[in-house]
Every structure is written in C-alpha cells, then in structure tokens.
Amino acid sequence: MDILHENITALRGIGQKRAELFRTLGLYQVKDLLTYYPRAYEDRTVFKKILELRDGETVCIRARAVSSVRENRIRKNMTVTTLKVSDGTAYLELVWFNNRFIKNMIALDKEYIFYGKVTLSGKRQMHTPLFELPGANKLTGNIVPVYGLCAGLTSKIVSETVAQALEQTAEFLPDPLPDWILKHYQLCSKSYAIRNIHFPKDDEALRIARRRLAFEELLVFQSALLYLRGNRLKHNSTPLPETDCVSDFIATLPFPLTGAQSRVIGEICEDLKRDVPMSRLVQGDVGCGKTMIAACAMYICYQNGQASAMMAPTEILATQHYESLTELFAPFGIEVRLITGSMTAKQRREVTEEIESGKVKIIVGTHALISEKTILGNPALIITDEQHRFGVAQRKSLEEKGTHPHTLVMTATPIPRTLALILYGDLDVSIIDELPPGRKKIDTFVLGEDMRQRINAFIQKETDAGRQVYIVCPAVEPSETPGIKDVTTHTEELKKLFGSDNVSMIHGKMKPQEKDEIMGRFKNGDIKILVATSVIEVGVNVPNASVMVIENAARFGLSQLHQLRGRVGRGSDKAYCILFPGENTPPDNPRMATMKQYSDGFQIAEADLKLRGPGEFFGPRQSGLFCFRIANIFCDADILAETTACSKKLLDSDPELKQAENQAISDAILSLFDTNITFS
C-alpha cells in the first residue's frame, strides 16, 4: 500500500494524540491532507513603507530597531512589550503581549522584516508581528495558507503536516483526468495543482491550481449525473397510459388549479405514459400547490392498477400528507396508509399485509419506507418530498423498492433554474412559478428590541381576534452564547404574558407522538401561540395562523427564513412576519433587507446564494446536495460551462466509463455517491 492510503500517523511528528485531533477535522489518511484545502490565504509578499501604511491593513515592512525593547506590566499576568522601528520614512511601534522572549531576539544593528496588522488610532502601531531576517522566507515573502483548525491544532502544525504529506506523496499522486482533457482545456497536472493550492508560489499559480481542481470536481459531479440520466433511459418501467382519468380527480377539487399546476401535471402525464422511468423534479415556492400535483400523479397510478409511495422527511409532514390524501381520495373510495418509525411492529405488519394483498396501493411515510422490513408492493411511482433533506443514497434506496419506478421529486426550496439543472442533472425540471389565487402578500417587518412591547400588544390583539401565532427561536435550551432566545425559556416568559393555556412549545428533541399531539392541538385552535424551533419550517399547514415572529433572525439562512414565513398567510386573514435580527445585528443587515424587499422565493434563493455561497446555502453533504470542496457553482460559471460540455463528450465516447484512461473518473463517481450506483 502506498503512503497515500496510510494512516496519518505514518507522518513524522504525528502520534496517536495528535492524530485524534486531526480526526476531528475529518482527516484520517495521508491522502485526506492533500484535499484539506486552505480556507483563506495571507499574502505576505506585499511590502510597504511605514509612511504609506493604512489603518487595518496587514502587510510586511523592512525596518531596523531604533530603541531598546521595553516591557510594562499593566496588571497581573499581563505584560506589554514594545519596540520602536524605522525604515527611514517614519517610525512604527511594534507591540507584543506576554512575550518575554522578544528582548533577546531582536538586535539593534540588524534589519528585519516584520509582518502584522497596522493600527493608526493614536499611535502608528503593528500588533503581535511575525519577524525574520531578510532572505529567510519562512514567515514572510510567501502566500501563506490559512486552514480550518480545532483546539490543540495550530495553523503551523497543520501547515507543516500538509507540507510533509506533499513531500512524501508527489510520486504517488495519480491524475484522474485523461491527457486529452488536460490538453483541450489547458489544465495543469494534479501534482502542480495540489502543491500550489496549499503553497502557491504567486497569485497566478494559485489561480491555475484552483481552476484545475474546481474543473475536476465539477466534471466528476456532472459526469455522475449525466451517467445516472443515461442509465435510467436504458431501463423499462411500467407505463401508465390511462392519464385522462386525472380530469375526474381534478373535477372534485374545491378550487381550480393554476396554469402552472396544469402545465406541470401535463408534463408528468406525458412522462408516465412512456415505458422509460420518469425522473422529474418539481420545485416551486412555498404554498404553490405541489402536494396537489403529487396527488394527481398518485391518482393516475392507482387508476392504472399500480401502487405508489411518497416519502417525507419528518413524521409531522408525512402525517399531514396522509391526512390530505385521505381526504382528497375519499370520494373515490381509495384507501391510504401511513408508515412511520414510531409504529409498533404489529401496526406495521398489518399495513404490510394490506399492501401485499393489493388492498392498499397508496402509501405515505418517513424514512421508515426505505427500511428492509418495509414492503411497498413493487410501486410504479415513487415521490420524495423536500428532496434537499434526503441524500442521493436515500432516494435510490426508495426507488429500489420498485422495478425501475417512475420518480417524482418535490422541493419547496427554490433554487435558481440554472443551478437546479446542474444539481439535479439526472432529473427533468418542472417549475411551478404561480401561486394559487387568494394567497395574500405577507407583510414583513425587521424590528429592534425597542419594539418588543408593541409586538406583544399586537400578538394579543391577533389572538383576541381568534387568530394564531408562531414564534420561532434558534435554540431548544439556554445557550452559553448571550442574547440567544431558546424555546424552553421563551415559552415560560410568554406564558406569563399571555396565559399558560394559550402558549405551548414544539422542538426536534420531543418524541414524535408528543410533537404530533401538540401540532394537532395547534391546528385545532386549542393553542394560540406556538413557540418552536425550525422544526415547523416544512409543510405544516395551519390556515388560521396569521403572525410569524422569528427571534435571532440573523442566525437563519434566507431560504430558511422564507420557508418559515410561508407557514402563515395560508388562510383568508392578513398575515405578518416579524423579524428580530438579534443583538449586534442592525435592521439593515443584507439578509434582513432582502427579506423585506422580496416575497418571491426564487429571488430570495439568488440573494442567499450570493451572500453565503453554495456550501452554506445547501448545508452539509447529508442534506442531499453535494458540497464542493473548492468549486463554487455561483462564481465558477465559466468552468461549469466547460465541464458540462466535457462530461457530455466523455460519456458519448465511453458511456460506461470502461476505458482505462477513465477508470479514475468512474472511481471518483462511485466515491461521490457512496457506491450507490454501479457501472454495468
């Protein structure tokens, strides 16, 4: 086995204790260090004259000491060491804290290079500078990587360990990209890219290295999606030719469908008629009516004599879908069954028997649907709701419950269309860009603590009028961070204000049955004010709720704030969203301003992507979307266009990626999707 796949302890200076610290960063093998890319860089190649220094900049200066080192003890355990230096243009005071060694390290007759942050308030100073003799080029004169750290690991330790890994692995670094791709797209070698992404010799070398690594990452991802799409088209599914029947179902609805809903249902009908598995993403804003589209698809499946299953990420949402579908299908005598993790073995066995016998053909559930013990009766249609909360592997596990079933993926997290086409490249994309008539605009206000009493009076007025209120907090229990509202404490405070019988709480740490019981009471109007975490972000439908108050709103992402806001305004009453940004966050904070300005989810998604980047926008890898290590979909549009064309060319010439030169790419794809796909 080469050094790349050896334990990190194979490196000099890494014992078991230090290896444990590296493991907290997700670094286990030597190869992991190579892709632990810096989160930022310090450019220590910039030199300035002291007279030219500006407040707040971090630079290098070349200067000599013009005074001896002075030490002042300002209080117990705090010593300030100062030194005056000059480069002939002006004087600069260097300041160190609790560093008694400085006086023995700097000589009056020598020139040094000092690197640090400049302050010009009062005196011209540089705090805690690094320094070395000219020509040393260890601390200065380079672009220095800045890594993510944990307690016990310094930037110096990580940097030296990465450097050692690079030194020992240069000859083992395989290049997964074939020569024709490197030449055609003018990409540097993998070895050059890895070296210069960690320790770039200059800005141009860093640009070249980053472009190469981002290209590889995007190419692997898009090739995987393109392969999945091509692989899907090879299989036969059960066609569902009788789609005209959906008009019978639509005729029973108490409201007309929007033009967007009708268009998307038409697209789904065309897919279902074919003997190639449908694989379609339906995305739309909060309250656009995706559930009705899912119901239409399930009705068609039922009338064609086939079973269908819908998976939701939470028990609350799954139960809500179950109740909605049961009501919608009641006029046709169609039975629906719910499968969740909280069911007893006996309950699950009874439902399974009904499915196996063919009595029940419409199933709704949580992750329990993908359990090995759950039998779904070879469904011809699979629906996943809130796709961004499921991983690729979970989606595939559900699809494997049937024989190449039709797949419908739904999400209420609006994603810019171009981005959706990339991230869901294995799916056809339908967008519901129209809200049902009657949905009122939700007035949004961003307020400071000085408005707290007025908002409490407003809440009292709304509840006295028979309406209901959500109040969302970022934490379940008290936090060490000052100023953070938590559900537990805030509920008790609100009970004193509005009465114990009117206020209740709900959060993710509760048992499913307890959450269901509380949501049931809130939907029935027994609870006037519900204090919650973001557990109520997805799917909860309470038409009587007219006010959404979000505490510490600056701690939530824009798309999440928009989802929460969408929980109100579902009835006939005027709705309001009140955002308290939190301590030290001004009301004109960019995210708060965006929430006030826009009500359209797609505009908010664009703004969220710009403000936070794809990594934070989509959350960790478990959310179901790949978080790139170095590529940035929003900023790397040019690379994205190149990799789109390249992946098509690659799979056109080698559809199964069986050629030797493409083996590394196929391996990378398998690794990317946790070996959940196979190359036939």
SS (H, E, C) 424-482: CCCCEEEEECCCCCCCCCCEEEECCHHHHHHHHHHHHHHHHCCCEEEEECCECCCCCCC
Q: Where in the chain is the domain with CATH 3.40.50.300?
A: 246-273+289-411, 443-598
CA 133, 136, 139: angle at the middle one, nearest 5?
90
Give me the residues paired with residue 475 across strands: 486
At 616 the pLDDT is: 46
Region 296-310 average pLDDT: 95
Region 555-561 average pLDDT: 84
The Cα–Cα gap between 66 and 48 comes to 18
Region 333-348 average pLDDT: 89
Q: Does the domain at residues 246-273+289-411 carry the CATH identifier 3.40.630.30?
A: no
**CATH architecture for residues 46-141:** Beta Barrel (2.40)
**Residue 271: which pLDDT band, with cuts at 50, 70 and 90?**
very high
Q: Where in the chain is the domain with CATH 1.10.150?
A: 1-41+148-171
At 556 the pLDDT is: 87
Residue with token string 């934490």: 475
Region 109-114 average pLDDT: 91
**Report for 111-120, 334-343, 384-393, 554-563: range of highest mean pLDDT:** 111-120
Reported residue count of the chain is: 680
pLDDT tens per residue, range 626-671: 457 898 776 787 898 899 899 999 999 998 888 999 988 888 887 7
Q: Which residues contact 161 (CB under 8 A, 6 or more apart)?
A: 8, 11, 13, 14, 22, 33
User: For residue 294, is pLDDT > 90?
Assistant: yes
User: For residue 244, is pLDDT > 50?
Assistant: yes
User: For residue 441, is pLDDT > 60?
Assistant: yes
For the domain 443-598, what is the CATH code? 3.40.50.300
At 261 the pLDDT is: 93
CA 174, 177, 180: angle at the middle one, nearest 5?
130
At 391 the pLDDT is: 53
Of 125-134, 160-169, 278-287, 455-464, minimum mean pLDDT range: 278-287
User: For residue 617, is pLDDT > 50?
Assistant: no
Of 40-44, 97-101, 394-398, 506-510, minimum mean pLDDT range: 394-398
Cα 646 to chain centroid, rounded: 27
Assign 3-class secondary structure to 350-373. Answer: HHHHHHHHCCCCEEEECHHHHCCC
Region 117-123 average pLDDT: 88
At 546 the pLDDT is: 95
At 497 the pLDDT is: 94
**Residue 41: which pLDDT band, with cuts at 50, 70 and 90?**
very high
Q: Does the domain at residues 1-41+148-171 carry the CATH identifier 1.10.150?
A: yes
Query: What is the percentage of the chain residues whose pLDDT exceeds 70?
Result: 90
Higher local confidence (pLDDT), 248 or 378: 248
Residues 182/184/187/189 CA torsion (nearest 10 deg): 20
Q: Where in the chain is the domain with CATH 2.40.50.140?
A: 46-141
User: For residue 485, is pLDDT > 80?
Assistant: yes
At 226 the pLDDT is: 82
Q: Are 639 and 215 in contact (CB under 8 A)?
A: yes
User: For residue 615, is pLDDT > 50?
Assistant: no
**Residue 620: which pLDDT band, with cuts at 50, 70 and 90?**
very low
At 422 the pLDDT is: 64
pLDDT tens per residue, range 393-420: 566 677 777 788 999 988 876 676 666 6
Region 603-620 average pLDDT: 59
pLDDT tens per residue, range 55-68: 989 999 999 999 88
Following DSSP, what letter does each residue of 134-153 receive, concatenated? Answer: TT--SSSSSEEEE----TT-
At 1 the pLDDT is: 46
Region 354-378 average pLDDT: 84
Higher local confidence (pLDDT), 50 or 229: 50
Query: What is the percentage of the chain residues whose pLDDT exceeds 90?
Result: 48
* Mean per-residue pLDDT over the chain, rounded: 86
Region 245-265 average pLDDT: 92
